[in-house]
Amino acid sequence: MSYAIVIIDGAADLPVIELDGQTPLAAARIPNMDSAAREGRCGMVRTVPEGFSPGSDVAIMSLLGYDPSRYYTGRAPLEAAAMGLHTEEDEWIFRCNIVTIQDNIMIDYSAGNIPTEKARILIDSLNRRIKDPPARFHAGVGYRNLMTIKGDMGVVTTPPHDILDQPIPPYLPRGQGAESLISLIRQSETVFGELTNGAERQPTSIWLWGQGKPTVMDPFKERYGLEGAVITAVDLVRGIGRLIGWRILNVPGATGYFDTDYAAKGKAAIQALSTFELVCVHIEAPDEAGHEGNFRAKVKSLERIDEAIVGPLIEAMKSGSGNWRLCILPDHATPCSVRTHTVAPVPFCLAGTNVVRDRAESFDENSILLLGSPAIHGHRLMSMILS
């Protein structure tokens, strides 16, 4: 049996007036996903357990079969695992976004989707210039970077994508250790101000959030008996994959944005199925569109995913000599109207060998909600896929 999981980040949504009241999934031309829904089993899955904030960290951990209430310690430690970052016992790891803040308003959580090479220049400058409080800055991919700092950090932080177009003062770090973090944010304003050119959506500072200590997760091979691999452009997903013992497959042209090479990801997934028993493909673009409130870009990205990834995967798996199963789903909803994640259950579709068909007509929120099946807990979905 070969298994493939396609995680379409943030794909679930709410009805959009400009799409005649349809969600992007319903409005998009996605014949391959719709066919899989008609031929397979569909339902709703609750990827974010009660008491957790809705984020890809918790949601993807859950979808891969790990209960966040047992394994989750924060988002930043997962990204640190992807970078192979080693920390000391008394160090905390923080997500360090490069952002655009104007007149104390969070304008852009990604500083115009800053390119990695430009972000590295800024991160290097922080390491050279900021000495007090002592902290280490670690370059990642684009706006997604990390910071480590020693001390007691009983702080509350807020993801920058949750406060777009809102004043930042109420959302600055608060609690034990907050003074040091706010000092770092303020100092970064000075450093970035000397390096940027006044362009629109320019990087103006860092934003610290998602803190935690390193976590340890059971190997997927021991837990489920399969060798897995993951294709993604996002360090968070790479980190989870590395922690559970999956192979991380790097694909040239994969960017984590609208301009990612969808076809290259699809080809890499098909090739990986000849080596690994389970392959997971993660695509970030719909989530970015949701955060930007760009429903047209979301529809377009969904159509590209269907054409270049889902369709070729289904064709390759059906034409192979063995049994197969394919699961398609978002990790969470990122509605264009609210521009951030929500805790609502998301639709899933499981197609392939020995999957009992149900009555779904298409792969979209309303069609699958009409089935009336209760939402299952996210960390139990993997057992359903593999059973």
Structure tokens given for 194: 């000397």
Q: Per the confidence metrics, is the pTM higher than 0.75?
A: yes
Q: Dihedral of CA 162/164/165/168: which sign?
A: positive
Tell whether the torsion through CA atoms of 298, 301, 307 and 310 is positive or negative: negative
For 46-84, the pLDDT digits (tens) are 999 999 999 999 999 999 999 999 999 999 999 999 999
The CATH label, of 3.90.470.10, 3.80.30.20, 3.40.720.10, 3.60.21.10, for the domain at 2-70+216-386 is 3.40.720.10
pLDDT digits (tens, 9 = 90+) for 286-320: 999 999 999 999 999 999 999 999 999 999 999 98
pLDDT band per the 50, 70, 90 thresholds, residue 20: very high
Number of H helices, E strands in the chain: 15, 15
Q: What is the rounded CA–CA span in Å between residue 183 and residue 65? A: 39
Contact between 247 and 228 under an 8 Å Cβ cutoff? The reply is: yes
* DSSP code string of 257-303: STTS-HHHHHHHHHHHTTT-SEEEEEE-HHHHHHHHT-HHHHHHHHH
Q: What confidence tier does 198 reach under pLDDT thresholds 50, 70, 90?
A: low
Name the CATH code of domain 82-212 (choices 3.50.30, 1.10.1060, 3.40.50, 3.30.70): 3.30.70
Question: Binning pLDDT at 50, 70 and 90, where does residue 374 land?
Answer: very high
Question: pLDDT tens digits, residue range 147-166?
Answer: 999 988 999 999 999 999 99
Q: Are 309 and 265 in contact (CB under 8 A)?
A: yes
| CB-based contacts of 292, cutoff 8 Å, min separation 6 | 339
Give dist(CA 216, CA 235) in Å, integer.
Answer: 17
**Structure tokens belonging to residue 38:** 């008609």
Q: Residue 43 and residue 374: Cα distance in Å, rounded? A: 8
CATH 3.40.720.10 boundaries in the chain = 2-70+216-386
